[in-house]
Amino acid sequence: MTSVTRNAQSLGVPSSENLSRSFYAQLGAEGLANRTRPEWDKEIVGALIEMLPEHGRVLDVGCGYGRVTVPLARAGFAVHGLDLSPSMIEAARTAADAEGLVVGLTIASMTTLPFAADSFDAVICLWSAFNELLEEAEQIRTIAEVWLVLDLGGFSLIEGRPYEEPTPS
């Protein structure tokens, strides 16, 4: 545990996971959907399809309500979505079921992926999901977990802001 994490916990500041769970419980799937545009999602999914191994096994970390997970399943990928938020996973399940798609969905943390080594041909983590890991140790753990579950020669795409040195308050 880093000193920042210990200090935050001693001050009663919630962890990254608790903050995310609380935020998405309040925002809900509809609120999150209102933060994007269908044409953006379509463009992202199209670009992913070009990069991913044909009909590969894909893990979508921080899948939210399935805005990338469901279209990838529709395109023939064996997709599994993972998210901390039970309501987001339920919304993804509802969307997949409405189209008769088989999509694995798991409520879990990206810092401790509940999958065996070499389970996926590709792991994606898009939009703001990785940015919600506030501690460097959480980010490192997540990258190690992604590496573990990727099959040899697998592909990973983690989208996030470039690192910037902190500025004085």
- pLDDT tens column, 70-97: 999 999 999 999 998 898 899 999 999 9
Please indicate, yes or no, if residue 100 is contained in any of the structural domains: yes
pLDDT for res 116: 97
**What's the token pair of residue 73?**
């399943």
pLDDT for res 127: 73
Please indicate, yes or no, if residue 165 is contained in any of the structural domains: no
From CA 14, how far away is CA 11, in angstroms rounded?
9
Please indicate, yes or no, if residue 5 is contained in any of the structural domains: no
Please indicate, yes or no, if residue 152 is contained in any of the structural domains: yes
Count: domains in the chain = 1
Please indicate, yes or no, if residue 142 is contained in any of the structural domains: yes
From CA 128, how far away is CA 10, in angstroms rounded?
27
Q: Cβ distance 81 to 106 under 8 Å? A: yes
**CATH code of 136's domain:** 3.40.50.150
Amino acid at position 49, single letter:
I
Got the DSSP string for 79-136? EEEEES-HHHHHHHHHHHHHTT---EEEE--TTS--S-TT-EEEEEE-TTTGGG--SH
State the residue range of the domain holding 57. Answer: 13-158
**pTM for the predicted model, two decimal places:** 0.77
Please indicate, yes or no, if residue 167 is contained in any of the structural domains: no
Please indicate, yes or no, if residue 43 is contained in any of the structural domains: yes
Please indicate, yes or no, if residue 48 is contained in any of the structural domains: yes
